[in-house]
């Protein structure tokens, strides 16, 4: 089974040539798993042992280096989501407009903050 991201609207699938990693939902840690489920914001979504989130939904500080491997920290929660599942009859504007897009990091931070505020 090919790994793919469970985040709504994310098209990432495992590809050995791409620097995207996939992280399984922490099913054995119910409180942390609930945080992941809430972060995904998908209506009626219940993760299975096959469900995972790609590394693009985690901030850089969610990772640690061990023996030349980039690992997800134990209490990391995905927070970067550009799309959420639309709710019934609720218009959702997911566009973010910036006059001066100087760096990708600033834009991602701005989108994350706007999304949190919404």
What DSSP state is assigned to residue 99?
S
Tens-level pLDDT at each residue, the chain (118 residues): 678 898 888 888 988 888 889 999 999 999 999 999 988 888 888 999 999 999 999 999 999 888 877 889 989 999 988 765 555 444 444 444 444 444 444 556 667 777 777 6
Collect all residues with Cβ–Cβ distance below 8 Å to 98 and sequence separation of at least 6.
107, 110
- pTM for the whole thing? 0.65
CA distance 79 to 40: 8
Residue 23 is predicted with a pLDDT of 92
Q: Which token pair is 32?
A: 């942390």
């Amino acid at each position: 089974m090919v790994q793919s991201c469970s985040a709504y609207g994310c098209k990432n699938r495992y590809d050995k040539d791409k620097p995207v990693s996939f992280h399984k939902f922490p099913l054995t840690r119910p409180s942390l798993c609930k945080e992941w489920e809430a972060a995904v914001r998908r209506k009626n979504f219940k993760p299975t042992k096959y469900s995972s989130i790609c590394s693009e939904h985690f901030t850089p500080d969610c990772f640690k280096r061990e023996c030349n491997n980039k690992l997800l920290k134990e209490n990391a929660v995905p927070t970067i989501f550009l799309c959420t599942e639309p709710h019934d009859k609720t218009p959702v504007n997911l566009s973010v407009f910036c006059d001066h897009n100087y760096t990708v990091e600033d834009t991602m931070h701005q989108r994350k903050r706007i999304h949190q505020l919404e």
